Amino acid sequence: MKMRLIGRMMTACVCTVVLAAPAVQGQNREVAPFATRSALQARVASADAAARNASNRKEWADNVADLNSVRERLRDGDFNVGDRVVLRVANVPTLTDTFTVRGGRVLELPDIGPIPLKGVLWSELTPYLTTQLAKYIIEPSVEAHPLVRVSVAGAVSKPGFYAIRPDMLVSDAIMSAGGLSEKGNLDATSIRRNGKELWTAKHLREEIAAGATVDKLDLRAGDEIYVGEQTKRDWSDILRTGAYVGAVIASVYGGTRIF
């Protein structure tokens, strides 16, 4: 009876140390709409003020990085080569399809020709295309949805490039790649651009917990969502700890002094 009790208590101790699985947020969670130009301008003002009043160099650098990223969005727009646009124009079958953004950041449409997207934000896509198509179609009824091409790499089941909606949660973008692999650790996820970390694991963890979207994090075509692996555990140390705990429990129940 004593040995069975000791065994159960040792198992509970070891499991408490080992089992700590992160939860991936569900796909039904409500997400924020695309950032408008006025919202981005407000972010610029906020980041600028925060940088000026920063108490240390790290805080200053973080705000300057955010400031530059948002300014770039305002200047160049959200569309890059390789992104896609899901377009639907009522009663025009040739314009109801998915089209890819080509070199020069243009959208080439059948019978229309190239439409420039430089400087256009995701939030401005539908009204902008409506205005452009009105030059060729009388009172066009337009629905347009952007898809940004990003890489999901690291410890995921199906790493690769994926065209995802910018209003998608980052956690759902990871699910698009089959979710975490056996070694995947959502808390060790970072975002990289041109080989450099745009969002560190520490900062991204807070954003994911808050329900951050691809749009909120200013991701663009070619950025990489990299999922790290779980920290390797030294099983010999865990077993030694378990044995020690077991010995302590045995001494308590058996009256044996081990110190």
pLDDT tens figures, 120-136: 999 999 999 999 999 99
Q: Is the dihedral of CA 188, 190, 195, 198 positive or negative?
A: negative
The tens digit of pLDDT for each residue in 78-108 reads 999 999 999 999 999 999 999 999 999 999 9
Confidence of residue 150 (pLDDT cuts 50, 70, 90): very high
State residue 16's pLDDT score.
Answer: 34
31, 171 Cβ separation under 8 angstroms:
no
What is the structure's pLDDT at 174? Answer: 92
Q: What are the tens digits of pLDDT across the range 167-191?
A: 999 989 999 999 999 989 988 999 9
pLDDT (0 to 100) of residue 258: 42
Supply the mean pLDDT for the chain: 81
- Position 63 scores a pLDDT of 86
Domains and CATH numbers, the chain: 1-30+149-259 (3.10.20.90), 84-140 (no CATH)
**Nearest by Cα to 204 from 222, 192, 196, 220:** 192
Q: Which residue has the tokens 């030059």?
A: 135
Contact between 207 and 172 under an 8 Å Cβ cutoff? The reply is: no
In this prediction, residue 207 has a pLDDT band, given cuts at 50, 70 and 90, of confident
Going by C-alpha positions, the residue among 216, 212, 191 that lies closest to residue 201 is 191
Tell which residue, 74, 165, 81, 149, has the closest CA to residue 119. 74
How many Å apart are CA 30 and CA 206, to the nearest integer? 18
| pLDDT for 120 | 97
Q: How confident is the model at residue 240 (pLDDT cuts 50, 70, 90)?
A: low
Higher pLDDT, residue 100 or 244 = 100
pLDDT at position 252 is 45
Calculate the alpha carbon distances from 174 to 24, 28, 178 in Å.
Answer: 9, 15, 7
pTM of the model: 0.71
Place of tokens 């009388």: 138
Task: Name the more confident of 25 and 205.
Answer: 205
The span from the CA of 95 to the CA of 111, in Å, is: 9
Q: Which residue has the higher pLDDT, 72 or 232?
A: 72
Cα angle, residue 106 at apex, residues 220 and 66 outer, rounded to 5°: 25
Q: Give per-residue pLDDT as tens, 2-58.
A: 344 334 334 334 333 333 333 333 333 334 478 899 999 999 999 999 999 999 988
